[in-house]
Chains A and B, each alone.
Chain A
């Protein structure tokens, strides 16, 4: 199908500007064309026949896809759909200069592939041992990429099926993800243990691939569809009630699996059925209600809304309630919670400068809460904010919601996610 931007969706925008203060690039630069309202205007121009200039493409590329604007919009403009459509147009029609092509090739040849990421862990460990004077002499965006990465941890093998503790309440599949699996194996382990403790049989098919989220969010639709078919093949015959995802970006993308594969007769029905089962970790636990007893965890935590959880999936209250349900835990709110931390999938790799600014801003607000722990539900955010805090010379421990619950349920001390200790 010829890539297109839906004119009807473009005309839904009434130009009220309510999206502007929630848009990270507008907050950074204060320019109309780097705001959702301005980008929709650029889409409109494209529909009216204006050519897709490198300048316009640059403004589309600069969008983090955080969807904060969607939450803020009183007119219900489907910006998420619009920017995805636009990115496809940009990918097809906008010839990128070679260095940019090379970097994009590297990123998309790496991140969606857990095994390749695993291989990278060796060099990364070496890189982390280098020390900063040497690191600073490495070229271009490579230091930015590596500065984000957490200290490398050994992988924790997960069983293919973890039986429920006590009465079984559900059979759930679990997505292990790419970055999550490679860099945050503890998070996956904690997720599985909490699910089992809360009465779920957890099905963890080995050899599951990327869900395609990174590709979808970057306009690489064909690549995304290829990954998505793999996920459908892996999970639709697994006999699960729900597919639990603990990475916000993957979850939001998988919930739209039906749309992605709608044009594929062999997959459309199965994809839609699987998409209906996709649920965020906190969302599922909120629905099930707690059964496992919680042990006190006397910690102060700041909860950060991952964009693809809060804005794209509307999951805000459930993780907070899960945290508040832990005796002794004090929950703090972060100022400007709607604002993205700058991670945004691979955006921070492609735009290291502005990403660092956003990270610094978020780190400042996080540190201002006085919390000892930062909790969020997305590996990208953990890395990004962790790096921001380090750059600010501060220190905060980071953890996924699942790890906090896991520690409370098991009655052990909360151990830091790889990040800043």
Chain B
């Protein structure tokens, strides 16, 4: 009933095709990139302007209907998992690149713009957008902001949070507010910093201003094959210890290589127990000097074959294997869990050994892909759902890996976010007081708890009263518009 009334109100200011209530259409939105969880939303809304998005949120607030934002639906933690009684607000039609300003090293884009498109728009000017999640060809900037997405090159360049200088958001009250802008250090609290990575629980971004980075003069990429992950890990540590800051250091183990090979025929060296992709970029003289050192470290630690990309095409082929690795695992296993955890890099050998033991104990296989430079692991737990008990065992291994990361002083997620999937694991990392403190921010932004409820935090905090200062001033508080708590 509530939803019918909401739909009617939305259709008052949106085109019919922007408001979906057909069950089969709704079901195409029932999950994001994490398919273990599926919830059919009550209604899907596709706003085309920030005002339409704000109007949608206001309508939801008035109806007391929770709402979830979704970009391209590629998230791997279920952050955009719909709410059964709620609205799914999809930003895929908010996809204009509003401005590319290389002279200011900024671009202004709508949230539905695809990550790679920002780089494509900037590169004719000699600039690019640095954060490059493996899904960069499809993931949206809005989604990147929500999840504080990383990528292979964030070892040197940082994450989304380091590259977003401003957002316009629809607050969970339905107001359009700007946080940050084109210039650094705006006065006041760094609400932008809190918003980036808040996984849709503090509102919906409707415009994002990003930093553009000068395309490097030189990019040198090598692919080194090692007998095993220990040697590749040791080479990584040696590179970092020598004071080199590579643009990226990526590692894949034998099983991950097998999958990538099956999917994209990347032609990695035969018989490798692990490969490292090391990329250096920057001024020519700087890169050349360090590249020789990196090559030396790889040989010193047992690399039996080193390939150096001769051109962009070969470089792309090195990366193709790595970037398609997650989905490629579909070629060697009917089902799998993509895990995302972080450890201090120096703990890599112990953690990998333990992961192998866990896999053996539970009778499942684990393929490992990771951002070795910053200790971000992506163990892929392979299983076959049709074999009774395997899914549960895979789930157990996957969970144990997260505990292992926390034991070693790491994190339960380096880039995929907590979302729905890991909310239950958050208390292994943070105390009740820590979580309570984080939720103070939530209460400030979303006292009603309507913005992506059930995500990030295992249990919601009661926010008490909506801050009193706003009474009588805010349009929502005018008679009949909104309920005042």
Closest-by-CB residue of A relative to B334 is A11
Please indicate the chain B residues that have their CB under 8 angstroms from the CB of A108 in the complex.
Answer: none
Known contacts being A18-B138, A76-B331, is A33 close to B95, with CB within 8 Å? no
B95 lies within 8 A of A55 (CB): no
CA distance in complex: A29, B17 (Å) = 10
Known contacts being A21-B114, A33-B28, is A74 close to B73, with CB within 8 Å? no
Is B24 an interface residue when CB atoms closer than 8 A count as contact?
yes
Closest-by-CB residue of B relative to A14 is B330
CA distance in complex: A29, B30 (Å) = 19
Is A80 an interface residue when CB atoms closer than 8 A count as contact?
no
Q: Which residues, 1 to 43 on B, are CB-close (under 8 Å) to A? A: 17, 22-25, 27-33, 35
Please indicate the chain B residues that have their CB under 8 angstroms from the CB of A75 in the complex.
Answer: 263, 327-328, 330-331
Is A223 an interface residue when CB atoms closer than 8 A count as contact?
no
- How many positions in chain A have a CB within 8 Å of any CB in the partner chain? 29
The B interface is mostly helix, strand or loop, or mixed, namely: loop
Is B93 an interface residue when CB atoms closer than 8 A count as contact?
yes
Task: Please pick, from B72, B324, B331, the residue contacting A17 in the complex, using a CB distance under 8 A.
Answer: B72
Interface 1/0 per residue, A98-118 and B, CB below 8 Å: 000000000000000000000
A15 lies within 8 A of B35 (CB): yes
Task: Please pick, from B23, B24, B72, B328, the residue contacting A20 in the complex, using a CB distance under 8 A.
Answer: B72
Is B339 an interface residue when CB atoms closer than 8 A count as contact?
no
Closest-by-CB residue of A relative to B330 is A75
Please indicate the chain A residues that have their CB under 8 angstroms from the CB of B92 in the complex.
Answer: 30-32
A33 lies within 8 A of B25 (CB): yes
Known contacts being A20-B72, A21-B114, is A74 close to B24, with CB within 8 Å? no
Contact size range, B: 35 or more
Please indicate the chain A residues that have their CB under 8 angstroms from the CB of B221 in the complex.
Answer: none
A14 lies within 8 A of B27 (CB): no
B95 lies within 8 A of A16 (CB): no
Please indicate the chain B residues that have their CB under 8 angstroms from the CB of A14 in the complex.
Answer: 35, 327, 330
B35 lies within 8 A of A21 (CB): no
A74 lies within 8 A of B328 (CB): yes
Is B264 an interface residue when CB atoms closer than 8 A count as contact?
yes
Please indicate the chain B residues that have their CB under 8 angstroms from the CB of A18 in the complex.
Answer: 135, 137-138, 324, 327
In the complex, what's the smallest C-beta–C-beta distance from A50 to chain B, in angstroms? 6
A32 lies within 8 A of B74 (CB): no
CA distance in complex: A76, B24 (Å) = 25
B138 lies within 8 A of A32 (CB): no
Is B326 an interface residue when CB atoms closer than 8 A count as contact?
yes
Is B107 an interface residue when CB atoms closer than 8 A count as contact?
no
Is B46 an interface residue when CB atoms closer than 8 A count as contact?
yes
Q: Which residues, 1 to 43 on A, are CB-close (under 8 Å) to B? A: 11-12, 14-18, 20-21, 29-33, 37-38, 41-42
Which of B74, B95, B135 is packed against the most chain A CB atoms within 10 Å?
A: B74
Is B112 an interface residue when CB atoms closer than 8 A count as contact?
yes
In the complex, what's the smallest C-beta–C-beta distance from A333 to chain B, in angstroms? 13
CA distance in complex: A73, B328 (Å) = 9
Closest-by-CB residue of B relative to A50 is B24
B330 lies within 8 A of A30 (CB): no
Please indicate the chain B residues that have their CB under 8 angstroms from the CB of A50 in the complex.
Answer: 23-24, 27
Which A residues have a C-beta under 8 Å from some C-beta of B?
A: 11-12, 14-18, 20-21, 29-33, 37-38, 41-42, 45, 50, 53, 55-56, 72-76, 335
5 contacts between A and B (CB under 8 A): A14-B327, A17-B138, A21-B114, A30-B112, A75-B327
Question: A20-B138, A45-B27 provided; 15 other pairs, C-beta below 8 A?
Answer: A17-B139, A18-B135, A18-B137, A18-B324, A21-B114, A21-B137, A32-B73, A32-B92, A33-B25, A50-B27, A53-B24, A74-B264, A75-B263, A75-B327, A76-B331
